[in-house]
Amino acid sequence: MNTYIVDTHSHVDMIESITIEEVIQNAHDAGVDKIIVPCAYPGDIEKINELTLQYKELYGLLGVHPSEARDWTDGLADKIREITAGNKKIVGIGEIGLDYYWDKSFNDVQKDVFIKQIRLANELNLPICVHDRDAHLDTLNILKEHNHGSKVVLHCFSGSVEFMRECLREGIYIALGGVVTFKNAVKAKEVAQEIPLDKLLLETDAPYLAPVPFRGKENQPSYTRFVAEEIAKLRSICVEEVVRATTGNAHEIYNLGEF
């Protein structure tokens, strides 16, 4: 491939079976040369920052996952402001959003913290990486009302083609990962076929959701190429076309520099 792949969402700090150095080397060997590492827990904000400073291949997103919304404080916003002011490799706010799958008892807290982090992204002129699980309508409505100017990525997209089209009308980008390779993932495959390439991103969500032929095992950024290959197959186009488009999109959204 003439253009390298960008894994736009990979928790490399959570991979347990190999070291980060091995993760990065495996990624290089598979043509994946840039990896964006999202933050989930408040306690990981400093760690993500340090990883991006230590490894040239890694870029970071800072934010608090919806499952941890009860731990949000205004002090975390101040910490994110401070870090982003000094580190240009922090390229977005994420992963933030709504998750109604496990526990619906604090949905209002999730919404409040989601809105606060959207406003923070707007203030810092940074894109937003959104986690949306079983919360499509609320997620989109909050973005419509409260996001003013930040580019938005719906990571690990799980909606239908119809919901995808609603998102596209708002200028939202769609990220697909290993699920698109699963035999029975009908919605993901339909989205992969229908989405305009200029709105598509590739990701792994490592260490979760490893693609076929590694399903059920620990995921890693090198496996992004299997996602690209499946999307190319579904669209009856060459893999290079998928890679070139998605890498260009990643650079446009996250300002990753020349490529």
Q: Which amino acid is at 7?
A: D
Instruction: Enumerate domains of the chain plus CATH numbers.
Output: 5-254 (3.20.20.140)
Evaluate whether 61 touches 95 at the Cβ level (below 8 Å). yes
The pLDDT tens digits of the residues spanning 69-85 come to 999 999 999 999 999 99
- Alpha-carbon gap, residue 136 to 149, rounded angstroms: 20
Write b or e for each residue in 114-146: b if 16 or more Cβ atoms lie within 10 A of its Cβ, otherwise e.
Answer: bbbbbbbbbebebbbbbbbbebbebbbebbeee
User: In sequence order, which residues have a C-beta less than 8 Å from that of residue 163 and are 6 or more positions away?
Assistant: 136, 140
pLDDT at 2: 53
Indicate the length of the chain as a whole number: 259
3-state secondary structure of 219: coil
The answer to whether 211 and 192 are in contact (CB under 8 A) is no
The tens digit of pLDDT for each residue in 17-69 reads 999 999 999 999 999 999 999 999 999 999 999 999 999 999 999 999 999 99
pLDDT of residue 259: 32
Q: If DSSP codes are grouped into helix, strand and coil, which group holds residue 94?
A: strand
Half-sphere exposure of 39 (CA within 13 A, CB side): 28
Exposed e or buried b per residue across 235-247, where buried means at least 16 C-beta atoms within 10 angstroms of its C-beta = beeebeebbbbbb
Query: Does the CA dihedral 42-203-49-87 come out positive or negative?
Result: negative
Residue numbers in the chain where pLDDT is lower than 70: 1-2, 258-259
Task: Report the side by side order of strands in the sheet with 200-202.
Answer: 5-7, 32-37, 58-62, 90-99, 128-133, 152-154, 173-176, 200-202
